[in-house]
């Protein structure tokens, strides 16, 4: 009888210990799971600094992207076009002044347009459509403030780029680089940036020894700006001739309207007649 009591007591003690172990396991499991999930959550995102210096948290492995303004141009430059699930009206109707859209016309033809594509003024963005498409990230050429607003309204990370009338500049290089970092195409983006810098150095080297007096003056006409423009549409300090160190006497957009002498021979009052 005494042995039976001792055995029963031992069994009770073991059962009690097992119950305690299960209880501890049950209490500690969520903490362990939470810690693991926390580690996974931290590893599932990365921080990208965009062209405006904004720190944007994006998924570590971005699978899809949409664009606002001229964002698609830089997605292509960065090598991430296969991740596009939405573009703008500019890309869905490609033109020769947007060769990146012509090169991928079949891709853009099948993408929904979520904005009108204007990257300076009067841009209409369909935020509801963007939220329905739910891209991992949005690439926008709008201002930093508008990028913040779009991100707040949609809950989707927005990477801002800036490059207006620029070619071989830090803004262009940074814009390509940050898009590549966001989309996970850093290697391609770096190759493009390196090639741009190579071309810049080549152009400068070709004209470095030419005296300013011997450099041609250049008027650049038919430059698009917020829509298609005729011969009178121009930029002061237009990027391509500026990059080749041309001597420029270019009118600004506020200059008086050029006088065209005829349809076959055009000259601009007060401006050299050589064109490039």
Q: Does residue 235 have a pLDDT over 80?
A: no
**DSSP collapsed to 3 states, 191-250:** HHHHHHHHHHHHHHHHHCCCCHHHCCEEECCCCCCCCCCCCCCCCCCCHHHHHCCCEECC
CA dihedral 245, 249, 255, 257 (to 10 degrees): -110
Q: Does residue 77 have a pLDDT over 60?
A: yes
C-alpha 151/C-alpha 136 separation (Å) is 12
Cα torsion angle, 113, 178, 228, 143, sign: positive
Q: Note whether 177 and 197 are within 8 A (CB).
A: no
Closest by CA to 12, choosing from 233, 20, 64, is: 20
Residue predicted with more confidence, 273 or 126: 126
Q: Does residue 4 have a pLDDT over 60?
A: no
Q: How confident is the model at residue 93 (pLDDT cuts 50, 70, 90)?
A: confident
DSSP summary character for residue 56:
E
Please calculate the CA angle 13-16-18 and round it to the nearest 5 degrees.
Answer: 110
Q: Does residue 124 have a pLDDT over 80?
A: yes
CB atoms within 10 A of CB 140: 27
pLDDT tens per residue across span 184-199:
999 999 999 999 999 9
- Read off the pTM: 0.70
Q: Note whether 95 and 139 are within 8 A (CB).
A: no
Helices (H) and strands (E) in the chain, counts: 10, 8
Query: Helix or strand or coil: residue 156?
Result: coil
Residue predicted with more confidence, 28 or 70: 70
Q: Does residue 136 have a pLDDT over 60?
A: yes
pLDDT of residue 244: 65
Q: Does residue 87 have a pLDDT over 50?
A: yes
Q: Note whether 200 and 168 are within 8 A (CB).
A: yes
């Amino acid at each position: 009888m005494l042995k039976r009591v001792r055995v029963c007591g031992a069994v009770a003690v073991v059962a009690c210990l097992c119950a305690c172990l299960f209880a501890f396991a049950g209490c500690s499991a969520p903490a362990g799971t939470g810690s693991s999930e926390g580690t996974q959550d931290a590893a599932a995102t990365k921080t990208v600094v965009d062209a405006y210096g904004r720190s944007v948290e994006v998924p570590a492995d971005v699978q899809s992207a949409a664009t606002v303004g001229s964002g698609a141009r830089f997605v292509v430059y960065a090598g991430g076009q296969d991740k596009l699930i939405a573009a703008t009206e500019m890309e869905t109707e490609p033109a020769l002044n947007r060769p990146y859209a012509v090169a991928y016309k079949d891709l853009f033809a099948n993408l929904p347009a979520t904005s009108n594509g204007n990257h300076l003024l009067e841009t209409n963005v369909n935020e509801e459509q963007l939220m329905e498409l739910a891209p991992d990230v949005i690439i926008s050429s709008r201002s930093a403030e508008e990028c913040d607003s779009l991100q707040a309204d949609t809950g989707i990370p927005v990477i801002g780029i800036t490059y207006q009338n620029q070619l071989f500049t830090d803004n262009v290089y940074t814009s390509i680089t940050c898009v590549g970092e966001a989309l996970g195409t850093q290697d391609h983006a770096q190759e493009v940036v390196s090639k741009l810098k190579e071309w810049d150095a080549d152009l400068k080297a070709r004209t470095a020894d030419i005296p300013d007096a011997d450099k041609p003056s250049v008027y650049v006409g038919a430059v698009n700006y917020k829509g298609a423009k005729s011969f009178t549409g121009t930029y002061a300090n237009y990027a391509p001739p500026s990059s080749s160190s041309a001597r420029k006497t270019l009118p600004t957009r506020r200059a008086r309207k050029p006088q065209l002498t005829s349809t076959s021979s055009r000259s601009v009052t007060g401006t050299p007649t050589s064109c490039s």
